[in-house]
Chain A
Amino acid sequence: MATEAQALAGDWGGGVHPYRVGHRKLGMWLFIMSDSLTFSTLLMGYAYLRASNVWPTPFRFYPSIVFSSVMTLVLLSSSLTMVMAVSASARRNKSSARKWIVATALLGVTFIVLHAIEWKHLIDEGLRPFQLPAEWVEKWPGATPLFGATFFGITGMHMFHVFTGCIYLLVVAGRVKKLKHEDVEISGLYWHFVDLVWMFVFPMIYLLSVYPKK
């Protein structure tokens, strides 16, 4: 039937899925487009505010840069395990797919735990959404409290996405026997997107604010 329709009018003639993807996958792509604009909003706002202010660059090698690099590594590895999960699912090896998805979610949890510890370091130092530690104010006179606001706002928003992603993955892992391959792929799309966002957040928030060598 589909071939007849295609002969009639090609991919766009109706009666076929023009991108060869089901509703849910297309819906996820659209959600990703939209969500990436939410993150762009936050990152553009960050760039705008950073450019117009005295901005502290407080991240020392230890703990912040070490932690954030390890977090990046964890998240990148989780993308790899996700690829393994999708590949296992493509081979209809559901139990292997389940293991890889659980591994991905565990790496996600590791990321959140490391990030929470990293947050705690900064909070202990005195960083708040509305103020800088007194020490930083001395070091960078006139620095804006927006450092804390953008830091907690953007990394918090990202962490929220990782958190929902972990729950999503665990649900997929639990029901993987009942789900189609495409549904595993869709959860993979979301997870890779969350990783990709971190690849913008990490350099923009962390690497641009490395403590100056002097």
Chain B
Amino acid sequence: MAEATHPEVHRHPAPTGFIRKYIFSLDHKVIGIQYILLALSAVVVGMIMSVLMRVNLSWPGTHLKIMETLFPQGAPGGVMTPEFYLSLVTMHGTIMVFFVLTTAPQGGFGNYFLPIQIGADDMAFPVLNMMSFWVTFVGFLVLLLAIFAEGNATVGGWISKLGESFAGGSGTVGPIGGWTGYPPLSALGKIAGPGQGAGVNLWIISIAIFCVGSLLGALNFITTLLNMRTRGMSLMRMPLTCWAWFTTAILALLSFPVLLGGGILLLLDRIAGTSFFIPGGLYVSGSTVPLHNGGSPLLWQHLFWFFGHPEVYIAILPGMGATSHILSTFARKPVFGYRAMVFAIFAIGGLGFFVWGHHMFISGMSPYSAVAFSILTLSIGVPSAIKTFNWLGTLWGAKIRFTTPMLFAIGFVSLFVAGGITGLVLGQTSLDFFFHDTYFVTAHFHLVMGVASIFGMFAATYFWFPKMFGRMMNESLGKFHFWITFLGVYAIFVPFHAMGLLGMPRRYASFGEYEFLKNSHSLVLFVTIAAIITVAVQVVFYFNFFWSMFKGKVAGDNPWEATTLEWTIPSPPPHDNFAGVVPVVYHGAYEFSVPGAPNDFIMQTEPEGVALGAELGGASGNGGNGHKA
């Protein structure tokens, strides 16, 4: 029982062959980088899709040769059809939410740094860890197939061999149900029209695969964090990043199985003829749907959003953790109100399970339920405000070092506030009636869960790159990247609010025919130009990332003068992280500028008594040991 102090150090020796080292690696650090590279690839696909959508909105009828080659029928003559626009919406949303915002923050940085930050030599289940990455990777490939299954006759031909309900190559387009895949249309199969055939099957299968991968990851994270903290690493001495990854893993563990269940039912509706989400007497595409009755499309909405709302916290909580960590490091101050930050993370995660109804205000639910969901939703504002004010408190009066990761962390706070504030607007039933399905909603979630999370990840990348690759990223390029991206995303999404106020609906392929939107064309054009510039600037980031890997300035063990365990070991870390030594922790994670200490930071491993004033640090509310016997 209690002999359990890492009985399994060196459980797997350092691999030698290329395949075991870089492809099917059991090392959490390699797997973390694999996740990051997957997200870096997926985000390119997602961004290209968003630019294609913007181009279609601003200049309808644009001819693109490449589109004609790839999707001869979805974009005949290289001109996008409205259905093709919708399948871009679907693919953009699904790729970004699942394969970027869920993989990079948790699977990527979480995998790499959670074990190191708690002083473990690897994750608890290295084989499961490897499987979770490869399962996720397969999910991504299946998702990419979805758009080609119907938009491209060749690929569709292969998929058709799977059977009647997979008969693709229909000459139309990929899945068009959006990332939420609402039934009944998504449950009916081909009779529901173009874009509801084989592509939707593949879309559901891809998500089910993704759920399995995430579950494997989540139980691995939780076990690792609970069981593998090194001596002295009490819960309240953990970096806030670890708290965020832990909470995220709990959310994933409890929400993905619900999506998995729902996905199985949706797939059964499509291929086994069941009616879970299909009501009777449905009139679609000019005829009544036979044989189905008794199902409820609302059941899917309940199941989907029971998963969907925690999912948005899965996307943003790791960003919050990274931001807290980075703000404290570069402000050279302890995180303001460490304990409050921990409880706020948990409060946000916990409340996230009880607010799914706010996505369904217009579904005809009882106004009493709507009020309950509304109040619970607005109450998330409390822990969110605690976090925001604590970030500001951390910055207050600090001698800030404005490095690139710090800029992105501050950018995160800015975007979180800007995007979060509209959550209070949309969380109110009466206002949501107007704003539902307008660009106002698009603006809200892009700022708060999309761009803010991405800023958290940019901050994390610039911050941890020296540890991962042993070299610094270029600061000038990084700052250039920050400023253009920061201004760019505001230029894109602030006008979205205005469009929403005008009543511009989401997911429409063009607005030319609507009298009331005639005057908003210049706004649409402005957003498109801002989007193209912002996307183009990301090339600088990619260049910086890969160039610095080989040519960047060599980083020492602790280039940022940070306190946590990952900075006590070489960059990049050895195979088993601590080279066989089990680290012992004596301090909280954020002991910066401790009065009386010789340096302005105290490493977590610095023995008690060597650093003067350690007691003061422990008592100042910055994460001293809360469990003194």
Chain A residues within 8 Å of B, Cβ to Cβ: 1-3, 5-10, 12-20, 22-24, 26-27, 30-31, 33-35, 37-42, 45, 48-49, 52-53, 128-131, 144-146, 148-149, 153, 157
Contact = CB atoms under 8 A, between A and B. Distances in A.
Contact of A49 (B229, B254, B276): B276
A144 B629 contact: no
Interface stretch (B292-300, B453-461, B467-475, B513-521): B292-300
B274 interface: yes
A145 B295 CA distance: 9
B232 A6 contact: no
Interface of B is mostly: loop
A-B pairs, 7 with minimum CB distance: A144-B294, A41-B261, A15-B231, A130-B273, A149-B274, A14-B233, A14-B229
Nearest to A145: B275
A131 B227 CA distance: 50
A41 B299 CA distance: 10
A149 B254 contact: no
A7 B629 contact: yes
Contacts of A9: 232, 234, 625, 627-629
Interface size class of B (residues with CB under 8 A): 35 or more
A17 to B, nearest CB: 4
B257 A16 contact: no
B584 to A, nearest CB: 8
A42 B299 CA distance: 11
A149 B268 contact: yes
A110 B507 CA distance: 53
B603 to A, nearest CB: 16
A87 to B, nearest CB: 18
B142 to A, nearest CB: 20
Given A5-B5, A15-B229, A49-B299, A41 B262 contact: yes
Interface of B: 1-6, 118-119, 124-125, 128, 215, 218-220, 222-224, 226-235, 237, 253-254, 256-258, 260-262, 264-265, 268, 272-276, 280, 291-296, 299, 302-303, 585, 625, 627-629
A9 to B, nearest CB: 5
A14 B242 CA distance: 14
5 contacts: A1-B5, A8-B232, A14-B229, A45-B299, A145-B294
A53 B625 CA distance: 57
Contacts of A157: 264
Contact of B257 (A24, A34, A53, A128): A34
Contact of A27 (B4, B125, B257, B260): B125
Contact of B274 (A22, A53, A146): A146
Given A9-B629, A42-B265, A146-B276, 7 more contacts: A5-B5, A5-B231, A8-B629, A12-B627, A31-B219, A33-B254, A146-B294
A27 B1 CA distance: 16
Q: Which of B2, B218, B585 has the most CB of A within 10 A?
A: B2
A98 B274 CA distance: 42
A7 B232 CA distance: 11
Given A15-B232, A41-B262, A149-B275, A23 B227 contact: yes
A5 B128 CA distance: 29
Nearest to A15: B231
Nearest to A4: B231
A152 to B, nearest CB: 8
Given A6-B2, A12-B627, A34 B253 contact: yes
B11 to A, nearest CB: 10
Contact of A38 (B229, B260, B274): B260
A41 B303 contact: yes
B232 A27 contact: no
Contact of B275 (A15, A19, A31, A130): A130
A150 B232 CA distance: 51
B218 A146 contact: no
Contacts of A16: 2, 4-5
Nearest to B307: A41
B184 to A, nearest CB: 14
Contacts of B4: 2, 16-17, 20, 22
Given A10-B627, A45-B299, A20 B220 contact: no
B261 A45 contact: yes
A144 B275 contact: yes
A2 B2 contact: yes
A200 B361 CA distance: 32
A40 B28 CA distance: 32
Contacts of B119: 14
A49 B280 CA distance: 13
Given A2-B5, A5-B5, A52-B296, A26 B223 contact: yes
A49 B294 CA distance: 7
Nearest to B224: A23
A58 to B, nearest CB: 16
